[in-house]
């Protein structure tokens, strides 16, 4: 029997609401960018997060490492609670709610941990390799800055050796250390972004659409490099992308988000071959198939309408305005998270109609 993998990152009922100007000048509206999102990532594995632009996947990644202060929920990193809003029920080892003497669910205590000790362990690679590097700094200074902040080199020689080792590890070389970001291609800049994250010996990296700004020919190289680095350093990734075909390749498990909510989660093969949420089905049908015969036999599911505003999301199931199976119940009640198989979860009232 395989030993159970240790959970490195756990998120429970994570919420991130932003205030925006409302219709009325004096009243603010709330954008529920991330609403009650829960998942866990075992050490050394990759969770892929997919969905259209604006579905909340980037906000989830940034909130998880507390670049944004969460509105609510609980974040546990390597067994330590780094954030708890105090209103999320505790669960036991079997996932059942912990009850008090009166049978009421017990919530965790409020926690806002100092993030300094975690900043080194939890890193992020940003989507835009053009905007995420300071144009006034050399590549050596960019990679070295993180080493300085966390005091990871005792001498200038050790610092330089570490910078060069990181650049070489991502396919660059020592000559590149004295150059500026504008002298590099998009793929090379993204490699610098990865070297910067790696320089502080992290354990967990949020890869926030790391390849979507790159040429298709470069995308596979960066993905393969991220996989090699994961195997070499035992890294854990949250891999965010809007392209399910990319996420499927690199992730062990995949979560699908729509308008701030997780709608389905399962292993990559379950999501690829047995997905059950109508939204995931439409994403899968959009993946190009190389075989022309097979491609002709497959039906593309095109969703009607645009993604609704997160300021005023639809009642009940948020996907109902675009779902071909929607009925009265979908408008009245939010679907619950149901297990449909081996660790495969889906939030839909009418699974029997869809699958």
By the criterion CB under 6 A, which residues form the site for ligand SF4?
277-278, 317, 319-320, 323, 325-326, 330, 335, 348-350
Nearest to 185 by CA among 212, 206, 213: 213
**Residue 246 falls in which region: left (phi positive, over 0), alpha (psi -120 to 50) or beta:** alpha
Beta bridge partners, 12, equal: 74
As measured in angstroms, the least distance from the Cβ of 309 to ligand SF4 is 17
As measured in angstroms, the least distance from the Cβ of 277 to ligand SF4 is 6
Phi, psi of 225 (to 5 degrees): -65, -40
Maximum CA pair distance of the chain? 68
Nearest to ligand SF4 of 6, 274 (CB atom): 274
Nearest to 210 by CA among 200, 199, 218: 218
Nearest to ligand SF4 of 122, 323 (CB atom): 323
- The token pair at 73 is 């929920």
As measured in angstroms, the least distance from the Cβ of 285 to ligand SF4 is 15
Q: What is the DSSP letter of 307?
A: P
Compute the CA torsion angle 317, 319, 320, 324 (nearest 10 deg): -140
Nearest to ligand SF4 of 175, 332 (CB atom): 332
Between β-strands 72-77 and 80-84, what pairing exists: parallel, antiparallel or unpaired?
Answer: antiparallel
Nearest to ligand SF4 of 35, 84 (CB atom): 35
Nearest to ligand SF4 of 57, 277 (CB atom): 277
Nearest to ligand SF4 of 28, 333 (CB atom): 333
As measured in angstroms, the least distance from the Cβ of 339 to ligand SF4 is 16
As measured in angstroms, the least distance from the Cβ of 311 to ligand SF4 is 20
Phi, psi of 67 (to 5 degrees): -75, -30
As measured in angstroms, the least distance from the Cβ of 308 to ligand SF4 is 12
As measured in angstroms, the least distance from the Cβ of 86 to ligand SF4 is 31
- The token pair at 28 is 């603010």
Nearest to 51 by CA among 238, 237, 245, 259: 259
Nearest to ligand SF4 of 70, 335 (CB atom): 335
Compute the CA torsion angle 251, 203, 343, 300 (nearest 10 deg): -20
Transcribe 147-195 into DSSP letters: HHHTT--SSHHHHHHHHHHHHHHTT--GGGGGS-GGGS-HHHHHHHHHH
As measured in angstroms, the least distance from the Cβ of 340 to ligand SF4 is 12
Nearest to 199 by CA among 247, 147, 156: 147
Nearest to ligand SF4 of 82, 348 (CB atom): 348
């Amino acid at each position: 029997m395989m030993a159970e993998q240790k959970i490195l990152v756990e998120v429970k009922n994570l919420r991130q609401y932003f205030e925006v100007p409302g219709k009325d000048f004096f009243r603010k509206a709330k954008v529920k960018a991330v609403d009650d999102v829960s998942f866990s990532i075992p050490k050394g594995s990759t969770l892929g997060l997919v969905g259209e632009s604006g579905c909340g996947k980037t906000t989830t990644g940034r909130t998880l490492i507390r670049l944004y202060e969460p509105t609510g929920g609980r974040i546990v990193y390597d067994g330590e609670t780094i954030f708890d809003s105090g209103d999320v029920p505790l669960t036991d080892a079997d996932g059942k709610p912990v009850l008090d003497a009166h049978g009421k669910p017990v919530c965790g205590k409020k926690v806002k941990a100092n993030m300094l000790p975690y900043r080194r362990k939890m890193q992020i690679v940003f989507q835009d390799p053009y905007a995420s590097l300071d144009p006034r700094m050399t590549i050596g200074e960019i990679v070295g800055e993180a080493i300085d902040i966390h005091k990871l080199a005792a001498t200038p020689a050790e610092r330089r050796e570490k910078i060069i080792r990181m650049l070489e590890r991502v396919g660059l070389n020592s000559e590149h250390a004295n150059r500026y970001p504008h002298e590099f291609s998009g793929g090379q800049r993204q490699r610098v972004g990865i070297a910067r994250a790696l320089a502080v010996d992290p354990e967990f990296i949020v890869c926030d659409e790391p390849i979507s700004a790159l040429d298709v020919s470069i995308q596979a190289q960066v993905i393969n490099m991220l996989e090699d680095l994961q195997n070499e350093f035992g890294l854990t990734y949250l891999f965010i992308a809007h392209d399910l075909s990319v996420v499927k390749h690199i992730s062990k498990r995949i979560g699908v988000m729509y308008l701030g909510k997780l709608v389905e989660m399962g292993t990559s093969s379950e999501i690829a071959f047995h997905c059950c949420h109508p939204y995931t089905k439409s994403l899968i049908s959009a993946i190009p198939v190389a075989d022309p015969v097979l491609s002709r036999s497959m039906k593309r599911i095109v969703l009607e309408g645009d993604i609704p505003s997160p300021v005023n999301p639809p009642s009940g199931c948020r996907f109902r305005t675009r779902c071909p199976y929607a009925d009265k119940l979908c408008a009245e009640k939010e679907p619950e998270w149901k297990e449909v198989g081996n660790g495969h979860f889906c939030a839909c009232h009418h699974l029997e109609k869809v699958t």
